[in-house]
Amino acid sequence: MIDLNFEPFPVLETPRLLLRKISMKDAAEIFNIRRNPIAMRYIGRPLLQSMSEAQKLIGEFQEGIRDQKNIIWGISLQGTSKLIGTIGFRTIDAGNFRAEIGYVIDPEFWGAGYATEAIAVVIRYGFREMGLHSIEARVNPENIDSSKVLLKQKFVKEAHFREDSYFNGRFRDTEVYSLIHSGK
């Protein structure tokens, strides 16, 4: 079983991005992203309806980190504090050295490679610092761009579950992608 410790919170950097702890100061950006139907089209979670819901979500992120059940980073461009998205390990299965990665980017910032850049640094952290053996991602098959981002990072499509989830009045399929640590 892996031993997790997120104190102090791990700040991750790339040439263009800063991945940092999300605080209540980020509530407006979280609200704007999570209420945007374009950003949330494939996420399978209800759109946020109020700032208090954004604050509650941030509280859940903080609680998950404290309890070592998940870790979520806010994504900002280097030199700015404005969040353009979130990324992290939504669930951590410490006993099996496995975690599920999830991410959402503000559509205003789509197409610039930010998701690919953020995923790469989070994967590296998961394997090198957390001691994960494998990382999975669950994707709506209609979200072709997300599948492409995962394939760029050498994830392998392992499964396609038909109508395995119900959201907004319809059943949806799920694809499962996986990446196993190569030991490098």
Predicted confidence (pLDDT) per residue in 125-171, tens digit:
999 999 999 999 999 999 999 999 999 999 999 999 999 999 989 99
**β-bridge partners, 175:** 139, 160
Fill in the amino acid letter for 125: Y
pLDDT of 184 reads: 64
Question: Which of 38, 42, 36 has the alpha carbon at shortest distance from 142?
Answer: 42
CB-CB contact of 60 with 67 (8 Å): no
pTM of the model: 0.95
Q: Which superfamily does 12-133 belong to?
A: Gcn5-related N-acetyltransferase (GNAT) (3.40.630.30)
Q: Please state the domain extents for the chain.
A: 12-133
Question: Which of 160, 184, 182 has the alpha carbon at shortest distance from 172?
Answer: 160
